[in-house]
Amino acid sequence: MIHDFHYLKPDSLKTALAMYAEHEDCKVICGGQSLLIVMRQGMVAPEYLLDIKHIHELSYISFDNQKGLRIGATTTHREIEQSPLIQEKYPVLAAMENKLASIQTRNWGTIGGNLAHADPAGDPAPVLIALKASIKVGSIKGERVMPLDEFFVDYFETAMEHGELILEVQVPPPAPKTGVAYQKFNLLDSDMGIVAVAASVTLDRDGKCKDTRVVLGNAGPTPLRMKNIESLLIGKKLNEKLFEEAGKISSTESQPVADIHASEEHRRHLLGVLTRRMLKQACDIAQKG
Amino acid sequence: MSTNKYKVINTRVHNIDGIAKVTGRATYTFDVKLPGMLYGKILRSPHPHAKILKIDTSKALELPGVKAVVTGKDTLGIKQGIWRRYEELCDEQILPLEKVRYIGEPVAAVAAVTEEIAEKALDLIDVEYEVLPAVFEPLDAIKKDAPVIHEGVERNINVTRHIEWGDVDDAFAEAEKDGYIREDWFKCGGQHHACMETRAAVSSYTPDGKLTVWTSTQSPYYHQALLAGVLGLREGDVRVIAPYVGGGFGGKFELDAAQFCSAVLSMKLCKPVKIVFTREEDMIASKRRTPMYYYVRTAVKKDGTFLARESRMFSNGGAYTGMGATALYLSGFFHSFPYKWRGYRYDGYRVYTNTMPSTSMRGFGAPQAVFCSEQQIEWICKDLGLDPFEVRRKNAHTEGYEVPGQAFIQSCGMKECIDKIEQWVKSKGKLPANRAIGVSSCGFMSGGIFNWFDTPYSFSSAVVTINYDGTVELHVGCQDIGQGSNTTMAIICAETLGVRVEDVKVHSGDTDHCPADLGAWGSRQTLMAGNAVKMAAEDAKRQLLEFAYAEMGMNIVYDLDIKDRWVHIVARPERGMPYFDLVKKALRGKDGQRIIGRGYYTPHRKGMISPAYSYMMQAVDAEVDPETGKITIHEIMTAHDCGQPINPLGLVGQLEGAASMALGYGYLEDMPFEDGKLMNPNLVDYKIIRATEMPETGMIEIDTYEPEGPYGAKEAGEGLTNPTAAALGNALFHALGIQMKELPITPERVLKALREKDEAKKQKKNT
Amino acid sequence: MEKYLLKLTVNGQEYEVYINPKTLLVEVIRDYLGFTGTKRGCETVSCGACTVTVNGKSVKSCSILAMQVDGMEIVTSEGLEKNGKLSPIQKAFLDHGAFQCGFCTSGMLMSATAFLDELNGRIPKKHEIKEAIEGNLCRCTGYNSIVRAIEAVAQGEYKEERQ
Amino acid sequence: MSFKCPACKKEWPTSLQVARHIFGTGDKAHRAWVESQGYSYIELLLAQTTEPGNKSYAILSELVEKAQATL
């Protein structure tokens, strides 16, 4: 059962950061959809719990053609899923959110909470990394921005130091002739993926691959950005054989962990299949875009 | 559906518990709160097999708020079991004295002022174990050097069942000459009931020696008798109350630790004690569907006529027998269904292992038996180039057939079911690649006859009492666990008495006020309790009509009846009087006494299995991704013969509910163990089907009349769980040509089967 | 352990409770305020039997600290009926037999209510309805009867005549 | 002509049915009688699973027939 804690409820970001800096053994709760489960199992038992759920300064979705998309940390998954702006400019993001856990969890859980929890099987991270997103974190000492793929360090561990909160997710404007696709393999539609693959492809004027990213979910301690696939594909005319090769890289270079749902060998096989399929899908979208 | 000649039966009547359930008023056991109530928690064994040397509860008792700690020593140490008729099958002390036999088995129980304190107290109980070698798989447990789990039980085999008729060996000899023989091994996994309401009980023992237990039960009478047995009380001094029950599915009619431990604690303290299982406890330390290893050898003529079958089955019985003996017999019995065999031989062996005990679960051995049989038949048809529908029709049971020495079949719509499904499959036309329709047929029982509980009472009883204002009190012993038996009984009572459902109040779930009844299992209640209710209502109507004859003074040749609250001459329906007026007169005529009708039912001259059998054929339209092994179910169509439907809304609910549970058994729900430890005791990793995966479900009702059932009705609860896993396996066989011999059908097993098929093809090519 | 004041409105009635901050919303609803219609069936936020609405949105009350709903409007299944009249979705559940044991019914009703309110008139596709109750596990009905009931209400077959 | 079960004296028309009764009940008395004939009850029972056909039942029926003389 949950251990006792002192409850801190700041009414603004400023007071929140001050409170967070003040207490050493302090955890942050926002939607709490992941945190409360681990607290109930006694794996996390802080002395202080800082509740930032109702800091409305951090709950927003904005977009402009230069800076691109800005999502506040306490924005709920459902708000992202149902935002007409995101459905239009970043459909893969809205589609991913629609398959994240249940409507109830999406109504209360937040994008900041999800990313801070840093579960390698989390859905948003691979998609956002494929979208070249970065993340703004801040503490009482100041703010900093880093690419999202540098934000995740290990299982359930991020690059944030004590006293730092996630403030905002930043996604560059959608580039022309670009397609992004994401799929997770699971038994039930909204389960976390046994494995997942996000892929983006940008084509240049004569149809060659100008830029690409393939990010594997639940295939290692953090979302894995497959740099070798990028060097394999960039500059080339994409075809089925190349997708096949990219799939091989995913299945050999990933570090999936076997569990009761699937063996390591099956996970590697699936990563290969999904990589091939998502690259093809992203490429088709790019050709149309 | 035929034009309905009944007023209430087969009409879309609202569930009579509906208002309470849709307005949040329905209270379940875990909602029960009593003044001064304490909360209990159970300490469970971390070892699969260990002697209990010493239990030190002193530190736990010192924790402020802890009121009592009990272990096996605080009990009478009686070995209990639901098969009371056979002493050696009653082998479970819920709080064991000398050793624990599965991980999660109760060792001690604490009662405290709050649940949190009780939970903290568990960590303060020191138990000294001597760990013993353990065995987890039946085929290992029967080896000579395997550890002995129950003293005196050689090679851990505690129950064997043998079924045999006809000349099996001659039939096989004939097949060897010019027929065809096929043999296959199958491995069917377990499944957990996973009722949405976990096990719970509130026990309250009072100084006058009476024990009242609120609990989630499928049979209040069973728990009354079982509790009395292990606590040394008279059955009459034990009162079991079932508030609303949150699902049972075969897992809630044996005695469980919540009931036993809360009763022991309450008797020690003379205070009410509530124990509610967490989901994890419910999945680790209860009883599940019996995992079975099947060896099936079948002989047929070249033209598809079935000759003989010889099957053997090892079940992973787990640490204690429970309903293991019945699982063994029924699986073998339904493994021959629904076909006529010249010879049939089945040997079932129930083997003890150091895993959670296995017991009955919806379908009870038939889903496993049908999974092996119906797939092998499909493979045989392929091997011999025969049409599976034709082969099934040729060998199917027919009305009046006697399964030699076992059962008498009266109503049987098997052939019509096959015809209807054949038409439906043809109507679907050609399906895209990697997608196909698999079919499977089976039958099931309407309640069991063999009295393994050794009850002295008739199997079902009912009492109908008519009040002055014409409202009717119906007291029944059958238990509504969600399948709608209260509504079904109200419908039968209203139809028979000639009133409306809203005139009938059903009283069930309280052993103090309701007659004894064996409860909800084996799909028995519609038939057995239904017959009792019909008899009771007829008795009351007969008494009522005596006054009507006197009151109306019409020609003796005429007959009277009551329909929709109107007492009338059958031949001249317009001549009559309102039912409500008749009741008032009848009461005055009986010196103010209410009319009371009694009814009961116990099956006779029907063999040892069941009074009646339902039949069905099901088609599953499934698609599989050959690269990832993922399965998608598009549609399920079932042609179903359950005699006269009584409660149509309930019937559709049973079909769709059974399909959702059977699909889980087919390709979603897995119970992986490592050294006796269940690896997924939660609803995240134990995959119960959700709305997004549930396919469309259709039903074709086949009209038959079962003379043994009330108004011709028979079971529709469990039977529908039996065909689905086999039909899914057959769909994969037609879609990808793979033969699935293990349940559940996981993506990994699909890909492995595909690889094996391709290798076999390569070998054939170059030999 | 110091306790904190929590003000919340449940089914139209305001309440004040002093609670340990680790108390979950479902515990306040069931144990402090006595609304036992909301049920609990798991410890891993999987079954959805504890679903209620907070400011109109469906949430799993076992996964939320009660302190987080300070000053908010909670509706549980007991709050659907208005002076003895059932809400359209409750009537639809009765007509379609969209429940059996009833343990998941409160959660299903609240997921359905939140989904229907959000539609305000738009006719949903079938898969949207299934996604609306994807977070609610049911072991008895096989879901299709519940989907039919929600679909009937969404298509306006039940007038709301309780103003 | 009927056959008696050596352990509990119940009667059946054929020795095969007596054999089936002995395996079916499998209580101490019946096991002890089988053991007294120099066979292990469990080995006979398990032999049923390894080879097709009814060998164990055939052996047991023979033992029952031979035992009729002494009853």
> How far is the alpha carbon of C81 from chain B, nearest alpha carbon, in Å?
7
Chains that touch C (3 or more CB pairs under 8 A): A, B
Contacts of B379 (CB under 8 A, 6+ apart): B182, B184, B733, B739
Is C111 an interface residue toward B (CB < 8 Å)? Answer: no
List pLDDT tens digits, range B683-708: 999 999 999 999 999 999 998 999 99
Closest-CA residue to B620 (of B686, B687, B666, B668): B666
Which pLDDT band holds residue C162 (cuts at 50, 70, 90)? low
Q: Domain spanning A6-51 has what CATH number?
A: 3.30.43
Contacts of B298 (CB under 8 A, 6+ apart): B181, B182, B183, B306, B308, B309, B376, B377, B380
Within a domain: B178? no
User: For residue B700, what pLDDT is reported?
Assistant: 95
Distance from C-alpha of B332 to C-alpha of B365, rounded to nearest angstrom: 8
Domain A178-288 has CATH 3.20.20.70: no
Within a domain: B139? no
Query: Do the chains contact at A190 and B670, CB–CB below 8 Å?
Result: no
Which residues on chain C are in Cβ contact (under 8 Å) with A40? 43
Is C123 an interface residue toward B (CB < 8 Å)? Answer: no
Closest-CA residue to B668 (of B685, B687, B691): B687
Which residues on chain B are in Cβ contact (under 8 Å) with D53? 169
Closest-CA residue to B372 (of B669, B758, B722, B757): B722
Task: Specify whether the CB–CB gap between A152 and A222 falls below 8 A.
Answer: yes
Q: What's at B153, amino acid-wise? A: V
Within a domain: B69? yes
Per-residue DSSP letter, C69: G
Q: Report whether pLDDT(B177) > 70.
A: yes
Closest-CA residue to A105 (of C118, B691, B688, C61): C61
In the structure encoding, which two tokens stand for residue A31, read together? 């939607």
Task: Please give the domain boundaries of chain C with CATH numbers for all domains.
Answer: 4-79 (3.10.20.30), 88-154 (1.10.150.120)
Contacts of B405 (CB under 8 A, 6+ apart): B165
Q: Report whether pLDDT(C163) > 60.
A: no
List pLDDT tens digits, range A202-249: 999 999 999 999 999 999 999 999 999 999 999 999 999 999 999 999
Sheet bearing B126-131, strands edge to edge: B99-100, B50-56, B126-131
Which residues on chain B are in Cβ contact (under 8 Å) with A190? 690, 692
Facing residue for D49 by CB, picked from B88, B168, B347: B347
Say if A6-51 and A178-288 have the same CATH topology. Answer: no
Q: What is the overall mean pLDDT for chain B? A: 95
My answer on whether B243 and B323 are in the same domain is no
Task: Specify whether the CB–CB gap between A183 and A274 falls below 8 A.
Answer: yes
Which pLDDT band holds residue D54 (cuts at 50, 70, 90)? confident
Within a domain: B317? yes
Which residue segment(s) compose the domain that B535 sits in? Answer: 18-25+459-601
Please give the residue of chain C at the shortest CA–CA distance from B282. Answer: C42
Which pLDDT band holds residue B3 (cuts at 50, 70, 90)? low
Task: Specify whether the CB–CB gap between A109 and A53 falls below 8 A.
Answer: no
Is C32 an interface residue toward B (CB < 8 Å)? Answer: no
Closest-CA residue to B46 (of B354, B322, B323): B354
Distance from C-alpha of A150 to C-alpha of A222, rounded to nearest angstrom: 10
Would you call the peptide bond into B648 cis, given omega within 30 degrees of 0 as the criterion? Answer: no
My answer on whether B306 and B227 are in the same domain is no
Q: Report whether pLDDT(B219) > 80.
A: yes
Reading chain A (289 residues) residue by residue, the pLDDT tens digits are 899 999 999 999 999 999 999 999 999 999 999 999 999 988 999 999 999 999 999 999 999 999 999 999 999 999 999 999 999 999 999 999 999 999 999 999 999 999 999 999 999 999 999 999 999 999 999 999 999 999 999 999 999 999 999 999 999 999 999 999 999 999 999 999 999 999 999 999 999 999 999 999 999 999 999 999 999 999 999 999 999 999 999 999 999 999 999 999 999 999 999 999 999 999 999 998 6
Which pLDDT band holds residue B1 (cuts at 50, 70, 90)? very low
Instruction: For residues B180-199, give the mean pLDDT.
Output: 95
Could you tell me the residue ranges of all domains in chain D? 3-68
Q: Is B165 exposed, middle or buried (0-12, 13-18, 19+ CB in 10 A)?
A: middle
Q: What separation in angstroms does the CA of A185 have from each of A277, B119, B352, B747, D70? A: 12, 38, 37, 10, 71
Task: Specify whether the CB–CB gap between C4 and A7 falls below 8 A.
Answer: yes
Q: What is the ipTM of this complex?
A: 0.95
Instruction: For residues B244-257, give the mean pLDDT.
Output: 96
Most distant CA atoms of chain B, gap in Å: 95
Which pLDDT band holds residue C130 (cuts at 50, 70, 90)? very high
Query: Do the chains contact at C57 and A78, CB–CB below 8 Å?
Result: yes
Which residues on chain C are in Cβ contact (under 8 Å) with B23? 37, 77-78, 80-81, 86, 90
Number of domains in chain B: 3
My answer on whether B279 and B379 are in the same domain is no
Q: Which DSSP string do the residues of B22-85 spell out, in sequence order?
A: HTT---BGGG---TT-EEEEEEE-SSSSEEEEEEE-HHHHHSTTEEEEEEGGGS----B-S-TT
Within a domain: B483? yes
Q: Report whether pLDDT(D55) > 90.
A: no
List pLDDT tens digits, range B334-353: 999 999 999 999 999 999 99
**Number of neighbours of residue C161 by Cβ within 10 angstroms:** 7
Query: Do the chains contact at C60 and A9, CB–CB below 8 Å?
Result: no
CATH of A56-171, one of 3.30.70.240, 3.40.30.10, 3.20.20.80, 3.30.465.10: 3.30.465.10
Within a domain: B693? yes
Facing residue for C103 by CB, picked from B246, B659, B682: B246
Query: Do the chains contact at C135 and A78, CB–CB below 8 Å?
Result: no
User: For residue C121, what pLDDT is reported?
Assistant: 86
User: For residue B518, what pLDDT is reported?
Assistant: 95
Which residues on chain B are in Cβ contact (under 8 Å) with A185? 628, 630
> How far is the alpha carbon of C78 from chain B, nearest alpha carbon, in Å?
5
Q: What's at B267, amino acid-wise? A: M
Which residues on chain B are in Cβ contact (under 8 Å) with A275? none
My answer on whether B394 and B302 are in the same domain is yes
Is B650 an interface residue toward C (CB < 8 Å)? Answer: yes
Task: Specify whether the CB–CB gap between C143 and C130 falls below 8 A.
Answer: yes
My answer on whether B227 and B307 are in the same domain is no
Best probe of the B interface among A1, A260, A268, by most B CBs < 10 A, is: A260
Facing residue for B691 by CB, picked from C49, C105, C130: C130
Q: Report whether pLDDT(D52) > 70.
A: no
Distance from C-alpha of A245 to C-alpha of A254, rounded to nearest angstrom: 14
**Strand, coil or helix: A106:** helix
Which residues on chain B are in Cβ contact (under 8 Å) with C84? none
Within a domain: B496? yes
Which residues on chain D are in Cβ contact (under 8 Å) with B346? none
Which residues on chain D are in Cβ contact (under 8 Å) with B314? 49
Instruction: For residues B595-599, give the mean pLDDT.
Output: 97
For chain D, the residues whose C-beta falls within 8 A of a C-beta of chain B are: 20, 23-24, 26-27, 41-42, 45-46, 48-49, 52-54
Query: Do the chains contact at A5 and C21, CB–CB below 8 Å?
Result: yes
Q: What's at D28, amino acid-wise? A: K
Q: What separation in angstroms does the CA of A146 have from each of A59, B49, C67? A: 20, 54, 33
Query: Do the chains contact at C65 and A54, CB–CB below 8 Å?
Result: no
Facing residue for C97 by CB, picked from B23, B652, B682: B652
List pLDDT tens digits, range B105-121: 999 999 999 999 999 99
Closest-CA residue to B418 (of B576, B602, B619): B619
Whichever domain contains B327, its CATH number is 3.30.365.10
List pLDDT tens digits, range B400-450: 999 998 899 999 999 999 999 999 999 999 999 999 999 999 999 999 999
Distance from C-alpha of C61 to C-alpha of C26, rounded to nearest angstrom: 5
My answer on whether B94 and B209 are in the same domain is yes
Instruction: For residues B153-159, give the mean pLDDT.
Output: 89
> How far is the alpha carbon of C127 from chain B, nearest alpha carbon, in Å?
7
Distance from C-alpha of C79 to C-alpha of C99, rounded to nearest angstrom: 18
